[in-house]
Amino acid sequence: MIVFDKVTKVFPGDFVALENINLTIDTGSFVSLVGPSGAGKSTLLKMIYAEEEPTEGEVIFFNRPISSIKRRLLPYFRRNIGMVFQDFKLLPQKTVFENVSYALEVYGKSDEEINEEVPKILDIVGLLDKMEKYPAQLSGGEQQKTSLARALIHRPKVIIADEPTGNLDPTSKWDIVQLLLKINDFGTTVILASHDKNIVDKIDKRVIGMQDGKIVRDTKHGKYTE
């Protein structure tokens, strides 16, 4: 369970990105975060993976206040969270296999475990036949699937997807969303920030609407617009 308790974020220049956010995301739920650019979606997500700190209030991750985690230990904390971004954030010098295995290597997993785990995950996202390719040799959809495989490799408690479909064609978009739904079925909490009306409407799960740093609506089986 992730809890935002009266969270406010003010950036230098008195820009209020988030204002008094109170939010609870249940374990195993699927949440879509919608709203125009600059509404504060990304800032809210960044607070979960400790890339930004609240100016006021507290974010609690599975009963643990994130602000209590020592900076040195942040890399270990981040292994609880899988992240997927609009720009994929793959390492261009590494093959699909290496991009995914890197997340295990930094963890200190043995080569045997890596050689066993990585193909399994790549099979789930359907990239088993492309694992020796470099990101530049892949389509956008395939790159995002690689990124998703990397996010999943730790079997994280939470998947955070910030506009994961923003750069993709319609078919690839839907592929990615279905993968996210599948992951959620396995019990992983998924938080999706999206601009895409079609997709959010089709998912038919909890929708949180944001505007100007505030939560403006929260519906159980919501649509992009009311």
Contact with other proteins (CB under 8 A): which of 28, 107, 126, 214? 107
3-state secondary structure of 225: coil
Which element (helix H / strand E) includes 219? strand 214-219
How far apart (Å, rounded) are the C-alpha atoms in residues 6 and 122? 39
User: How wide is the angle at C-alpha 142 spanned by C-alphas 137 and 148, nearest 5°?
Assistant: 130
Residue whose structure tokens are 């895409």:
196
Residues in 10-49 at the binding interface with other proteins, rule: CB under 8 A: 49
103 vs 215, which CB is nearer to other proteins?
A: 103
3-state secondary structure of 113: helix
The count of residues interacting with other proteins (CB under 8 A) is 23
The answer to whether 86 touches 161, Cβ cutoff 8 Å, is no
Nearest C-alpha neighbor of 184 from the set 164, 203, 212, 208: 203
142 vs 162, which CB is nearer to other proteins?
A: 162
C-alpha torsion 44→47→51→55, nearest 10: 100
Contact characters 133-172, other proteins, x per CB under 8 A: -----------------x---x------------------
Q: Mark the segment that binds other proteins (CB under 8 A) among 16-24, 59-67, 102-110, 166-174.
A: 102-110
Residue whose structure tokens are 């036949």:
129
Contact with other proteins (CB under 8 A): which of 27, 36, 67, 106? 106
72 vs 221, which CB is nearer to other proteins?
A: 72
Q: Mark the segment that binds other proteins (CB under 8 A) among 62-70, 86-94, 125-133, 200-208.
A: 86-94
**Least gap, CB of 52 to other proteins (angstroms):** 10
Largest CA distance in the chain: 51
53 vs 129, which CB is nearer to other proteins?
A: 53
Contact characters 64-83, other proteins, x per CB under 8 A: --------x--xx-xx---x
62: DSSP letter: T
The reply on whether position 102 binds other proteins by CB under 8 A is yes
How far apart (Å, rounded) are the C-alpha atoms in residues 101 and 118? 6
Q: Which residues of this chain interact with other proteins, rule CB under 8 A?
A: 49, 51, 72, 75-76, 78-79, 83, 89-94, 102-103, 105-108, 110, 150, 154
